[in-house]
Amino acid sequence: MNKKEKVQYVINTLQNLYPTTPIPLAHKDPYTLLIAVLLSAQSTDARVNIITPLLFKKADNPYDMIKLSVPEIKEIIKPVGLSPMKSKGIYGLSKILIDKHHGKVPKNYADLEELPAVGHKTAAVVMSQAFGIPAFPVDTHIHRLMYRWNLSSGKNVVKTEKDAKRLFPKKLWNSLHLQIIYYGREYSPARAWKIEKDIITKTIGRKSVLNLFIKHKKSS
């Protein structure tokens, strides 16, 4: 397969496996999604979805959030990890949203990335999943699979995002990045990887990845 054929194979396979792409983080509006995405850093969506209802019961908008203290926020979100940094970020960004954006989440990268604890990936998720603006947020699953599929060098997430945007049609970005995440979790995880299940990597994966797996399997 040439690269164009590989890209189409990925699209077709993922569309067959995941014809619908529900957003994995529970939310009701751009603000609650922003908070949920921030909380998901180095945590799991399942754990975040347990904690956010507790937080949003007390404050589901920036005006109510700044009525809480940073220690109060920290205590609620402690189970998701990195609570000292995340609690300061939630309080700080809520205040900035009120002071600079009339309490609304902005619809552009520049303003989003100016918010405390909001990096490019978080901003891209909000742009895509809250506002439907084409974006290709790259998480660890996408970064790993783009390398395994020989569609990116694996050098860094910035390069992976550029390659994904160059290779895949823009109209598919918002659904495709979720499909790749779902696929990575189910068929091509970082650990306990079984290539027999991983049909995409088995079909189009780079030789170095396949050889490494074969070598590991022979030695086990």
217 has a pLDDT exceeding 70: no
Class of domain 30-130: mainly alpha
CB 26, CB 55: distance < 8 Å: no
CATH number assigned to the domain with residue range 3-20+137-219, chosen from the 4 options 1.10.1670.10, 3.40.50.300, 3.40.50.360, 3.40.50.970: 1.10.1670.10
Of these residues, 78, 95, 121, 162, which one is catalytic?
Answer: 121
Question: Is 121 part of the annotated catalytic residue set?
Answer: yes
pLDDT band at 219 (very low <50, low <70, confident <90, very high): very low
Of 139, 162, 165, 202, the catalytic one is: 139
pTM of full prediction above 0.85: yes
Q: pLDDT at residue 213 above 80?
A: no
Task: Give the 3-state secondary structure percentages of the chain, helix then strand then coil, rounded to 5.
Answer: 65, 0, 35
In the chain, where does the domain assigned CATH 1.10.1670.10 lie? 3-20+137-219
What are the residue ranges of CATH 1.10.340.30 in the chain?
Answer: 30-130
Average pLDDT, the chain: 94
Clarify whether 163 is annotated catalytic.
Answer: no
